[in-house]
Structure 1
């Protein structure tokens, strides 16, 4: 129980310390950070981070080496410097606009998509698979596919229809019979 009371007193003391620091030095810290960053919101973040560091290291405030405000301003400057260096270390983010090209998708998605499609194609009959390969992968017209496969154009159309329906069922898991019935 004594440990609980001790911790509550420490917490209250910590809160009082931070509240006092903010009341005494908050405006100066905010003005300083705003001047260095040029951005009020970023400056507020810096002030908050500075006070969190003060809360984590209260011994630095009472060690007798320099003023508390000087320590706080130094910490704020270091935080800003670290943020500037971090931004410089990575490429600048550019928002997409009509004039910029969209960011390419991760190629891993394309690999997975290819594997899924190839697996679905292997589940089709060879007649259906051959028609889809001719039309969609080789870019042939119905007439050209019919000539390459040695079947009438009507057969190519019919096989492509049933092959696509089978693929749709494979990907959705719902057959047209289930939908109609």
Structure 2
């Protein structure tokens, strides 16, 4: 049987038996969507066994209904019906533990407090507020070279303070 003949035989079988197979599956599952899945899986089994299409479609009725019944039984025994169910509302989303982040923030804050006021002002404005060197110089009324110098030495001191606390080793 070539592919065209196979498709024709399959279509004839589907037209003849799919509606009654669907009603039967609905009576077993009490769920239209599951019944449609059962019918599709049953017909897929026919397609996967092309020798069945050589038989007259009327003679396959019993086989089709047996396959459908077995699929319903298999589904009822599987996790599909025992453990999986639709939820009206999704459970809360899990949130990542923030303890490490909070601890790191405390370490940085403590290390920043060990800097001189001049160095701390420049570092905070540059890294926390993302101000440019020129903007910091204008805000503090100091030359931009002084800002760069304080930023360099402030970051060096901050790094040393964090290393003393065990960060970055």
TM-score by length of 2: 0.54
Contact 2:9–2:53 (Cα < 8 Å) also in 1: no
Unaligned ranges ≥5, structure 1: 1-8, 118-132, 167-181
CA shift at 1:26, angstroms? 1.4
CA shift at 1:17, angstroms? 1.6
Contact 1:96–1:102 (Cα < 8 Å) also in 2: no
Contact 1:50–1:75 (Cα < 8 Å) also in 2: yes
Aligned ranges for residues 28-67 of structure 1 at < 5 Å? 28-60=20-52, 67=59
DSSP 3-state at the match of 1:138: helix
Contact 2:22–2:35 (Cα < 8 Å) also in 1: yes
Contact 2:26–2:35 (Cα < 8 Å) also in 1: yes
Instruction: Work out which of the residue numbers 80, 99, 121 in structure 2 matches 1:87.
Output: 80
Aligned ranges for residues 145-164 of structure 1 at < 5 Å? 148-152=113-117, 155-164=119-128
Q: 1:92 to 1:155 in 2, by over 3 A?
A: farther
**Relative contact order higher in (CA < 8 Å, ≥ 6 apart):** 2
Contact 1:50–1:76 (Cα < 8 Å) also in 2: yes
Unaligned ranges ≥5, structure 2: 132-169
TM-score by length of 1: 0.51
Q: 1:71 to 1:62 in 2, by over 3 A?
A: farther
Q: 1:45 to 1:101 in 2, by over 3 A?
A: same
